[in-house]
A and B are shown apart, each in its own frame.
Chain A
């Protein structure tokens, strides 16, 4: 047997106190009285002989010494010596990512379970063990480094709160490894619901606090963007996923609210590990609040159940059309798009090239710039000559008429809802596509419409003349084709970009007041945040709006966080090696305390159950 806190054994000198009290016990004063008649009614007394009284005094002394020694033994925390090596130092890695907020049926979070487990494990360590605490969230924090102050370690542990970030254990593993290297023989204990991947040569004892049978569904992807060619309409892309470890399929309801009004309601039935992707058309004006909330009975984790966003202002797509003599039909088609209100058309003569104000897309109509622009995507309509990066060969004369075209890539976005059935056109050039352009329309075996990328920018080339084509100008296919090409080219432009998505833990550089519609795991609440400037780490879920009108979304949207593991899944993991005999370490002091209480009760019953003596 050995003691985990042997310094308490020095308190054994306290046994001298009852011994001294016994030896120098002051005898009761003897007082003569006229009669005991009235004292007898006060209390009963022991009617016992002198030897029994002496025996009881001895017994009382022995019981007092026994109580004292048992209490000192309990403080010294005896443990059975099992011959196992006791680590001189331990690095505690505690996971506080979003999955640690998952609660069981009793409402106990995984972090609470980890705290209890850490306490239980620390009880088996000697007092002089060196402790380090590493907190793993989006990055690694080391609130306690190589300290013997166990109380401080437990206080820091109690102060930990789960954070809505996806699991990133790599930084914590690195920090724990560095700390462990400082103390030879140190061990790393990892408390989480899932183990981390440990490189060869490093030993990490994993202590699982995963739920026995988790049930969880969550939103694992979200995107909000304006709908093309539509006023005050948006599209929200939502992906809902069920955890792989779910026992059974989960029924969930996806509620979408715009400005507090229910806009969409979807019922989902998700098998374990299954996911569902939804595109939700929404109507709403700038500044209205969008709330997407997933409701499912028995859901363990609330942080992945909702996303909030503030509908952004829709900006027009700026198109610069550069032409020496514009084609009237292409001009007509572009004008029709302008009237839709989502496109702003700049008519630029070639003399004004290069442009001071950069548009989102260039449209070169029968004209090519002397220096190819590499800063914006471009649409080439009936290019007059071959120029880098475009290679073509102009056809002589008025070109080559074709009675029909064939769609080579009908699923390409440029051909979205564009019917090629009745199209007849007049080919003006033969395109040399190279490797980066994809033919969309083929006429007579030659590509007349192609799309792709050149020099880092998207490019759409039409090798035909709309004015010389018989039916093309009269069909809706041509303006639709132009519109598709504009939006496909400008897909990365700010005007078409959706609301920027962020995740808690991301670094942001903001300053000033930000209004938040915050999701706390159970409900939406409105808060504000004042950012002092500089780089800070995002630590909230919800939608924010800055003073200058910019909006953003912070969502967990992590398949790893939603996919809660089950403890049964990790049954094959070897259990961590015990530091000492766990049963003995945990129960022996308790047994001693119970023994102290028992002896105290016995002593009270023997000597103090009556008022006298």
Chain B
């Protein structure tokens, strides 16, 4: 198996995803969407699905009065029907070189998140879009609906090409889904930009996106605490830049402190803009962390 492609089994755990069928992604806030779809909402609408009765009040549409009930009870009631809306699910996967090298686990973990989210959306009859994130955001698949498109998602995810730089500022500024595509946006990345402030400042652009945004940071444990000692020449995989360092334990501790500061700063910036932020290590159990993600963002809904 080459690094370029991943095995289908690595991305698609059928047993786990089957258990997710009873779950669905939904919005945390009630919102009137423009398009009708299969997503049930607390609102009442004009579908054929009966939902409830309610006393008739003047100036209400008299066509909704249930005359049969009036005949039996001699009281006016109106019939309420279910409202279903179309929810868009945008999955943005970081495909920069840092997600694939030197730690390939990051790529697998991020794609697992992407595939599982897409499956959840397709199973919930939502429109699922897949994007790749690098120096910009590129749409890899148009909005898809229905479980039949799962194969497309899998094939596209396994063939994503990793390489190039991460320009969070530019990518987040460029990514502007149309208002009609309002929904839930998942960004799966390590958020390593060109400088320490790049990710936090890029969050401002994400706050303007039409939808509820979730950031999933995928990191490798050795990225937080590198196992390096002595004189080394470090080669950055994205830019090819090489620098020589003399690393001691003191330097490693200082590095970890800087790394934690970066993550804390990013988490605070996300919280300030009402963006959910979750950090996941590449070697952590995927299923647990995925359920954590759904629970954290209140994105877990009841059965469809």
Interface residues of A (CB under 8 A from B): 28-43, 45, 611-613
Contact = CB atoms under 8 A, between A and B. Distances in A.
Contacts of B244: 28, 45, 612-613
B238 interface: yes
A45 B234 CA distance: 13
Contacts of B195: 37
B30 to A, nearest CB: 40
B192 A30 contact: no
Rank and list the top 9 A-B pairs by shortest CB-CB distance, nearest first: A34-B98, A32-B102, A35-B192, A28-B231, A30-B233, A28-B233, A38-B258, A36-B236, A32-B235
A37 B237 CA distance: 12
Interface string B209-238: 000000000001001001010111111111
Contacts of A31: 102, 228, 232-235
B255 A35 contact: no
A43 B245 contact: yes
Interface string B105-119: 000000000000000
Interface of B: 98, 101-103, 190, 192-196, 220, 223, 226, 228, 230-238, 241-247, 251, 254-255, 258-259, 262
A37 B196 contact: yes
A365 B151 CA distance: 162
Given A34-B192, A612-B244, A41 B258 contact: yes
B237 A32 contact: yes
Given A30-B235, A31-B232, A611 B192 contact: no
A428 B193 CA distance: 145
Contacts of A45: 243-245
A522 B233 CA distance: 72
Contacts of A611: 246
B231 A33 contact: no
Given A31-B232, A37-B193, A39-B243, 20 more contacts: A29-B232, A30-B242, A31-B228, A31-B234, A32-B101, A32-B102, A32-B237, A33-B226, A34-B98, A35-B238, A36-B243, A37-B192, A38-B196, A38-B262, A39-B245, A42-B245, A42-B247, A42-B251, A42-B254, A612-B245
Nearest to B106: A34
8 contacts: A29-B231, A31-B232, A32-B234, A34-B192, A34-B237, A36-B234, A38-B258, A45-B243
Chain A interface, >50% SS class: loop
A41 B255 CA distance: 8
Q: Chain B interface secondary structure, helix, strand, loop or mixed?
A: mixed
Nearest to B194: A37
Contacts of B259: 38
Contacts of A35: 98, 192, 236, 238
Contacts of B247: 42
A39 B255 contact: yes
A383 B259 CA distance: 130
B262 A34 contact: no
Contacts of B258: 38, 41
Given A38-B258, A42-B251, A33 B234 contact: yes
Contacts of B102: 31-34
Contacts of B234: 30-33, 36, 39
Contacts of A41: 196, 254-255, 258
Contacts of B232: 28-31
Contacts of A42: 245, 247, 251, 254-255
A30 B245 CA distance: 10
Contacts of B192: 34-35, 37
Interface centre among B98, B192, B226, B234 (most CB of A within 10 A): B234
A426 B223 CA distance: 138
Contacts of A39: 234, 243, 245, 255
Which one of A29, A42, A613 has the greatest number of beta carbons of chain B within 10 Å? A42
A612 B233 CA distance: 11
B255 A29 contact: no
A28 B226 CA distance: 16
A39 B243 CA distance: 9
B279 to A, nearest CB: 15
A608 to B, nearest CB: 11
Nearest to A46: B244
Interface centre among A34, A35, A45, A612 (most CB of B within 10 A): A34
A36 B255 CA distance: 10
Contacts of A613: 244, 246
Nearest to B238: A35
Contact of A34 (B103, B194, B196): B103
A30 B241 CA distance: 12
A33 B235 contact: yes
Nearest to B241: A36
Nearest to B262: A38
B252 to A, nearest CB: 9
A304 to B, nearest CB: 66
B78 to A, nearest CB: 60
A533 to B, nearest CB: 72
A231 B155 CA distance: 136
A609 B148 CA distance: 65
A611 B255 CA distance: 15
A38 B255 contact: yes
A593 to B, nearest CB: 30
A533 B108 CA distance: 101
Contacts of B194: 37
Contacts of A43: 245, 251
A599 B254 CA distance: 33
Contacts of B254: 41-42
Contacts of B241: 36
Given A28-B231, A41-B258, A42-B254, A33 B236 contact: yes
A36 B262 CA distance: 13
A244 B230 CA distance: 75
Contacts of B103: 34
A63 B235 CA distance: 31
Contacts of A33: 102, 226, 234-237
Contacts of A37: 192-196, 262
Nearest to B190: A34
B167 to A, nearest CB: 13
Q: Which of B223, B228, B243, B251 has the most CB of A within 10 A?
A: B243
B285 to A, nearest CB: 22
Nearest to B259: A38
Most buried by A among B195, B228, B236: B236
A208 to B, nearest CB: 59
B27 to A, nearest CB: 34
Contacts of A38: 196, 255, 258-259, 262
A56 to B, nearest CB: 13
A30 B235 CA distance: 7
A45 B242 CA distance: 12
Given A34-B223, A34-B237, A35-B98, A29 B246 contact: no
Nearest to A33: B234
Contacts of A32: 101-102, 234-237
A34 B234 CA distance: 10
Nearest to B220: A34
Nearest to A40: B243
B263 to A, nearest CB: 11
Contacts of A28: 231-233, 244
B282 to A, nearest CB: 11
A39 B193 CA distance: 14
B197 to A, nearest CB: 10
A29 B193 CA distance: 25
A42 B220 CA distance: 20
A197 to B, nearest CB: 72
Nearest to A26: B231
Contacts of A36: 234, 236, 241, 243
B193 to A, nearest CB: 8
B200 to A, nearest CB: 13
A36 to B, nearest CB: 5
A396 B280 CA distance: 154
A37 B194 CA distance: 7
